[in-house]
Structure 1
């Protein structure tokens, strides 16, 4: 009886919160696949190392509090695993307190044995997710032209990729082709940007392979892809980040300045590679207020 009551409670909680799981790809439409039947592998709680296909998890504020803006949260994990809880759900729940709808994306990792071209697998998934949310914006009570991305660590690299690579890799046809894959704005938290001198080696090796050419490294170093068409972007980083050096965010922001891209960069003296919803210092914790104010100025 207790188990039945628990299941009913979870069911009604999901019904009223609006949270649901959505497959990004319809059956037979997922590109770049060998057709392998993979299982979800979770190495430990909160960290997935393999998924068969991309999934979105919705976090919707109450309709009375819901603003037109929505954000796709892209978890990090060095392109080896997905920190979907700490680097996904926690950000989504915080965004809900601002009245912003959030969608957490669990994307195919480039280490997946099912991918034929590993480096574009994650990009295909975030591009398709943006199209899917834009197409169904009315259903969620949001605006299709106020869809942003929030990426942390390697998820920040993926957020920068989808912000700067306008080529549509989804292979979706029909009315899908007219829907843009580029977000309207981006939030990058401790992002991997450079895959060369200042790279997070694990992210680079997992995305491009251990013997990536200089050309590939340059192509996937996102400071080299910024143009005047890059959407407004705000970056947060800690000076004492020993995993992803702060120069990553600095290089991206310098490219933004050169190309007159609207945005901002905030570097905190402490925070390491752990800037998130709960932070070790009050100063670093201010990133949330700064971010909320910036989003407010974006017209949410």
Structure 2
């Protein structure tokens, strides 16, 4: 269930409790605004951001699993709720600008119509205690190729001439200057409206006049006039991806908000069957190197009302009075306007809101972390370093620590890879000192046994030294030396497992710095690692020499398991084609047979090499709970 759907269930408790904790004066929205920062969100696009939805369709679908959890929070008796904590201004609204408290009526098809702002505003308003202002700027029939063209992507001479030729067929008096003015006209209008609305907040919304302003997000829902552009279609809309990337950079610059979360709402007219190259181009924008992380592509085709579409295809919208009545319960327009489905427009807004909230949560977590890079830990003769992830504020009590070991098949990978950053920032924000380490690697790829001969047991020794380093410097970094854990993925998953299960008397102990300190860990999370290397090598290699089999056995975590091993949380995905999920099952079975505490979580559909937030299942709460249980006793 999207996180926003949980808030309305608690709404009757959340707000009153919050207000009582502050003072009864906070029942005034004006007083609340004076004490808070106003979170401002921009909702921008063409006709489907304008909105053609009929809110009465939400009454029709009140028992739908996606509507039911929030339906009651949208109503005030028989009327639609008017929020006292979410405001909206819509300067570009057809037939005149409109502003006020959020309720129905901010769409463009009928007095009470809705667009994505309705679900978005309720989602954000239910989730945060700060006052919220939505600035909606949208015009129907506008393209990114011409109308919203960003300043950093000016049209070429050939584009201008082709457009001039096309427009002169309709109006021979069209000039080249007329064409140049069209390119980016609505981009410039959007920025003008945005700045004017920000400046007008104190006078337009007196309740907010003394509040600080924070631009908290931007939602872009547009594309119909570009998907039908034959020139763009020829190169699978690659130009759209490029232009939208530049649009995002330009908007952030023009609004002086370089880290502003940005949501791209999927164009999904016609639903899932109509997904294709254009939707891929939209999604690819969020994958551009400099936009990854705070640009989010949000699928919406799942919310297209297929039941309404069936009635549309049966011509109920122009049929008998009885058929029209049936149609009007679910539909209101043509497929290119999502059939005017209030359900669809609402759920799209909810999805956009959820995406913004998750982005803000991620940003908040990252801001709660200090990072110290490239700390030497292996001695002067070694180039490998570690990165420390520390809670932003020093705890009054000692903090447990966690060693993070990267993957890469024992010959590649890096401590600063995205997976390791995700783990480090997540766990540091949860109150842990984390050390993401580089360690000795094989010089090149080869078969499993060949790589092991080159680096084993040196790679294990580096992991052991990292644990000892943390204990050595416990005072410096405020570490609880009695409670240290380890986590790693793939090759790192293998190494943290060996680190956890090898005893200091097993003959594999490191010689080197800090030998007076223990290298034992008190909890371990091996993620999709190889744990019985003999089984894995025999499946992958044509033959194993006696020496190969011996080193594989010695390097296998399962070799060293006994009842004294620390608790293990083992994670693996069913779609892993690099390391079979059977490897984690073998490890779990061996631990259970030895009566060592172990939990195995298999993530359905997850591939090899995921971090703590694979799209199939958010694992942050699970992993943090595990470490809290065993390291924060």
Q: Find the aligned partners of 1:99 and 1:61 in 2 and give their Cα distance.
A: 6
- Say if 2:404 and 2:437, in contact at 8 Å, map to a contact too: yes
Whether 1:279 aligns to 2:610 is: no
Correspondence for 1:141 among 478, 484, 502: 478
Could you list the runs of 5+ residues in structure 1 that have no partner in the other structure?
Answer: 1-15, 31-52
- Say if 2:402 and 2:433, in contact at 8 Å, map to a contact too: yes
- Superposed, 1:30-45 pairs within 5 Å as none
Aligned to 1:101: 433
Correspondence for 2:403 among 34, 48, 72: 72
- Superposed, 1:1-300 pairs within 5 Å as 17-28=370-381, 53-64=383-394, 68-84=399-415, 85-111=417-443, 118-165=455-502, 166=504, 167=507, 169-172=509-512, 176-199=514-537, 213-281=548-616, 284-285=617-618, 287-300=619-632
How far is the alpha carbon of 1:91 from its aligned partner? 1.0
Provide, for residues 167-201 of structure 1, a one-character-per-residue CA deviation record: whole Å limited to 9, x for no partner. 4543237xx33311121211111122121233598
* Residues 199, 108 of structure 1: alpha-carbon distance in 2 compared, 3 angstrom cutoff: same
SS, match of residue 494 in structure 2: helix
Provide, for residues 138-158 of structure 1, a one-character-per-residue CA deviation record: whole Å limited to 9, x for no partner. 111110011111110010111
Instruction: Tell me which protein shows more helix as a share of its residues.
Output: 2
SS, match of residue 197 in structure 1: helix
Select between 272-281 and 238-247 the one with higher mean Cα deviation: 272-281
- Say if 2:414 and 2:438, in contact at 8 Å, map to a contact too: no
Provide, for residues 235-277 of structure 1, a one-character-per-residue CA deviation record: whole Å limited to 9, x for no partner. 1111221111111111111111111112311112111113213
* Residues 200, 78 of structure 1: alpha-carbon distance in 2 compared, 3 angstrom cutoff: farther
How far is the alpha carbon of 1:83 from its aligned partner? 4.0
- Say if 1:199 and 1:244, in contact at 8 Å, map to a contact too: no
Could you list the runs of 5+ residues in structure 2 that have no partner in the other structure?
Answer: 1-368, 445-451
- Say if 2:575 and 2:607, in contact at 8 Å, map to a contact too: yes
How far is the alpha carbon of 1:19 from its aligned partner? 1.6
The structure that has the greater radius of gyration is: 2
* Residues 110, 230 of structure 1: alpha-carbon distance in 2 compared, 3 angstrom cutoff: farther
Q: Find the aligned partners of 2:455 and 2:373 in 1 and give their Cα distance.
A: 28
- Say if 1:127 and 1:168, in contact at 8 Å, map to a contact too: no
* Residues 274, 214 of structure 1: alpha-carbon distance in 2 compared, 3 angstrom cutoff: closer
Q: Find the aligned partners of 2:575 and 2:526 in 1 and give their Cα distance.
A: 17
Q: Find the aligned partners of 2:630 and 2:538 in 1 and give their Cα distance.
A: 31
* Residues 194, 278 of structure 1: alpha-carbon distance in 2 compared, 3 angstrom cutoff: same
* Residues 129, 74 of structure 1: alpha-carbon distance in 2 compared, 3 angstrom cutoff: same
Q: Find the aligned partners of 2:464 and 2:536 in 1 and give their Cα distance.
A: 26
Q: Find the aligned partners of 1:78 and 1:151 in 2 and give their Cα distance.
A: 12
TM-score scaled to structure 2, two decimals? Answer: 0.37
Give the aligned CA root-mean-square deviation in angstroms. Answer: 3.0
Give the number of the structure with larger relative contact order, counting CA–CA contacts within 8 Å between residues 6 or more apart.
Answer: 1
Aligned to 1:48: none
- Say if 2:530 and 2:536, in contact at 8 Å, map to a contact too: no
- Say if 2:613 and 2:620, in contact at 8 Å, map to a contact too: no
Q: Find the aligned partners of 2:549 and 2:512 in 1 and give their Cα distance.
A: 31
* Residues 201, 275 of structure 1: alpha-carbon distance in 2 compared, 3 angstrom cutoff: farther
* Residues 172, 79 of structure 1: alpha-carbon distance in 2 compared, 3 angstrom cutoff: closer
- Say if 1:192 and 1:200, in contact at 8 Å, map to a contact too: no
Provide, for residues 83-110 of structure 1, a one-character-per-residue CA deviation record: whole Å limited to 9, x for no partner. 4312322210111221111111011113
